[in-house]
Structure 1
Amino acid sequence: MTLNLRSSKTVLLSLHMQNDIILREGKLGKLFSEQAEVRNIIKYSKELVHNARSSNIPIIHVCVRFKPDYSNLIANSTLLTAVKQTEALREGKWGGDIVSELQPLNGEPVISHQRVGPFYGTKLRHTLKKGGFESIILFGVATNIIVESTARVLSDEGYNVFVVEDCCSAATLEAHQASLESLSLLTKVIKVDEVLNNIS
């Protein structure tokens, strides 16, 4: 599987790069921020997004966020229960926003969802089909949750999927690495430098 960013059939998906998830002061920061900081994922992701925009590669931003009263949250998992208990990821609040370094530009779609994966009840699948994309580049937090769940569905649906390893992190390095080991069988795991070199 060859990465060809000069193709108009490539799109970049930014997954859950939100304040409550990846920043130390975020409501879920105790769980995810340490590895996000250690791995410098905001820095690398900012570089990735900047170069994608410069090369006219479309970007879609995916967020998980809920109504202020959590009436659209089904707490049927440990993770979603924690979201409700910590009052994280509320619509219209700082915590649910994308970090300032990766804020969407006008015209870049932002898709919000309320389940663990980004497809149920959203327009993401339709947006990708309408765009005529064949190759999809993913990055985000957490590797073993949103990145892996998204990559598995896209792989099953026939897309060429690329995971930018150094723009991803999980609660622990071990969880990140274990997820990548599984994903390497379904996707192409790459480094941000490979993307940038392809663009240049």
Structure 2
Amino acid sequence: MQVPENVAEMCRPGASAVVVYDVQVGILAHVRDREGLVRRIGDVLTAARAAGVPVLYVRHVSLPPTHMGVAALRTAMAWQRLERAADVRSAFPPDADHTQLVAELTPAAGEPVFDKLGMSAFVGTPLEAVLRDRGTSAVLLVGAVLEIGIEPTARHAADLGFLPVVVDDACGVVEPAAAQRSLDSLDYSLLSHRCSAAEAVAALRG
């Protein structure tokens, strides 16, 4: 069995895929250095597409309050800083303008976009099945927000037997201190890996 010894070997074409997490209008509006982030994500996507590495998108959507259960309502109350469930609104209706992917990072022809309700990109989507069917071992994570959804996605990927690679400067941050805690926690677990966008591009180019 060949075990990759570094990120460059993990990200080689034929064994890797890029997951673009929540690059939505209403989410990227809150990240720091939006323009730089979009540019770095774009660089990774360009390299992946040129190398024939699959690119898959996920985006966050919300149920209408009439169809939310206890957990969804409690989560919405926390995020919307509400004390009553009756005041909850749907934060990301599927058809809302702010729910759409930003124009600069529009999927190329044939690249799928999976809608999700939770934080892990693997919960409630066919992402795992698609990656396994392709024989993918390493998953490069780019998008936003690092300290909210990318950290749990990286952890979930590791538990599923993938090698998660967090392209840290291609992951948007809202609160730097929280983002650093997420990175420190991922590093401590020894189950995920990190690289820069430049390193990811170099690896994808072979």
Alignment partner of 1:6 is 2:2: no
**Aligned pairs for 1:32-181 within 5 A:** 32-33=30-31, 35-37=32-34, 40-67=36-63, 69-73=64-68, 74-77=72-75, 81-82=79-80, 87-181=90-184
Query: 2: CA distance between counterparts of 1:166 and 1:153?
Result: 21
> Counterpart of 2:199 in structure 1: which amino acid?
E
Cα deviations across residues 59-103 of structure 1 (Å, max 9, x unaligned)? Answer: 010101135x34454222257642985753221221111111111
Q: Aligned residue for 1:183?
A: 186
> Are 1:63 and 1:112, in contact at CA under 8 Å, matched by a contact in 2?
yes
Alignment partner of 1:193 is 2:189: no
Structure 1 alignment gaps of length 5 or more: 24-31
Structure 2 alignment gaps of length 5 or more: 82-86
Q: 1:85 to 1:36 in 2, by over 3 A?
A: farther
Q: The residue matched to 2:74 in structure 1 has which SS?
A: coil
> Are 1:169 and 1:176, in contact at CA under 8 Å, matched by a contact in 2?
no
Query: 1: CA distance between counterparts of 2:76 and 2:12?
Result: 41
Q: 1:181 to 1:81 in 2, by over 3 A?
A: closer
Query: 2: CA distance between counterparts of 1:195 and 1:79?
Result: 38
TM-score when scaled to structure 1?
Answer: 0.84
Q: Aligned residue for 1:17?
A: 23
Let me know the Cα RMSD of the aligned residues: 2.3
Identity of aligned residues (%): 23
> Counterpart of 2:25 in structure 1: which amino acid?
N
Which runs of structure 1 show a deviation greater than 6 angstroms over 4 or more consecutive aligned residues? none
Q: Which has the larger radius of gyration?
A: 2
